[in-house]
């Protein structure tokens, strides 16, 4: 099976469509939450994910968008974008977001947005946190987003190592446990503005990251027209 893993799409339909075009036919699409927030097209992104049959988990922005108290953690710009999102989304989008679980196990993979310990809140930013999460995972592999940084934690011989990944980076899944982050589709933060995703091939036992350019200017123009915070638009050009 070929599976595309997408995270942190953040209402960026142009980036999502660029990714879907690049990956072509796959057997499944999994998402790791933060489908909405920051960007200009929450209904469009949710409609597209529903159309392609994507399954996944809830992120903190998804929870906040449907009225959750998570909005209290947000900085002023993130909060402004979520308030805009709350006012704008339709019933179908709200229902789709409300149905997302915080954690989901599919075959050999355990999916969360943040971490297994705190699915909506914790950032996996260290070897220690990654090791503690892997200890909570019953499957060989974990998948997480939230940091917007594509990388792979790989456990072997009792140790754990981390590797930052880029376009074309590939990893052999066999023989060790892994905890993988696909990076962000709609708001990358690793200094590369291209949309990021992860492709799993369970027949080959491989994980491969891809970076895909998209029309950032079109998204920024839509954000300006919607009067979303200017810095949220500007950062897309920087990938930060
Ligand atoms: Zn996010």
Question: Ligand 1 centre from 175 Cα, in Å?
Answer: 31
Ligand 1: centre distance to CA 60 (Å): 8
Distance 12 CA to ligand 1 centre (A): 12
Q: Ligand 1 centre from 33 Cα, in Å? A: 8
Which residues have their alpha-adjacent CB atom under 5 A from ion ligand 1?
8, 34
pLDDT of res. 19:
98
> How far apart are the CA of 73 and the centre of ligand 1, in A?
13
Question: Which pLDDT score, from 0 to 100, does residue 158 have?
Answer: 79
Distance 148 CA to ligand 1 centre (A): 6
Ligand 1 midpoint to CA 81 (Å): 12
Domain boundaries, the chain: 2-222
User: Measured in angstroms, how far is the CA atom of residue 183 from the centroid of ligand 1?
Assistant: 10
The CATH number of the structural domain formed by 2-222 is 3.60.21.10
pLDDT digits (tens, 9 = 90+) for 18-28: 999 999 999 99
Give distance in angstroms: CA of 61 to centre of ligand 1.
7
Which pLDDT value is given to residue 121? 95
Instruction: Share the mean pLDDT of the chain.
Output: 97
The distance from CA 104 to its chain's CA centroid, rounded to whole angstroms, is 14
Cα of 182 vs centre of ligand 1, distance in Å, is 12
Task: Tell me, in angstroms, the distance from the centre of ligand 1 to residue 146's CA.
Answer: 5
pTM: 0.96
- Predicted confidence at residue 157, as pLDDT, reads 83
Q: Which of 234, 126, 144, 239 is nearest to 182 (CA)?
A: 144
pLDDT of residue 104: 97
C-alpha 184 to ligand 1 mean position (Å): 7
For the segment 24-67, what is each residue's pLDDT rounded down to a tens digit? 999 999 999 999 999 999 999 999 999 999 999 999 999 999 99
- What residues in the chain have per-residue pLDDT under 70? none
């Amino acid at each position: 099976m070929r599976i595309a893993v997408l995270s942190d799409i953040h209402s960026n339909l142009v980036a999502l469509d660029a990714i879907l075009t690049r990956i072509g036919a796959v057997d499944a699409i999994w998402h790791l939450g933060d489908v909405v927030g920051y960007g200009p097209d929450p209904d469009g992104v949710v409609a597209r994910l529903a159309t392609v049959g994507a399954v996944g988990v809830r992120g903190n922005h998804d929870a906040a968008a449907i009225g959750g108290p998570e909005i209290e953690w947000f900085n002023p710009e993130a909060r402004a974008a979520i308030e805009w999102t709350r006012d704008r989304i339709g019933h179908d989008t709200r229902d789709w977001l409300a149905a997302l679980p915080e954690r989901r196990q599919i075959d050999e993979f355990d999916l969360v947005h943040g971490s297994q310990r705190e699915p909506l809140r914790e950032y996996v930013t260290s070897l220690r946190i990654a090791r503690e999460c892997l200890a909570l995972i019953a499957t060989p592999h974990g998948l997480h987003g939230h940091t917007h940084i594509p990388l792979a934690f790989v456990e072997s011989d009792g140790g754990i190592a981390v590797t930052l990944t880029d376009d074309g980076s590939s990893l052999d899944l066999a023989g060790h446990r892994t905890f993988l982050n696909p990076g962000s589709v709609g708001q990358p933060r690793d200094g590369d503005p291209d949309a990021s995703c992860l492709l799993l091939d369970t027949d080959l036992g491989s994980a491969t990251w891809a970076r895909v350019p998209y029309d950032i200017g079109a998204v920024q123009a839509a954000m300006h027209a919607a009067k979303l915070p200017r810095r949220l638009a500007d950062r897309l050009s920087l990938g930060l």
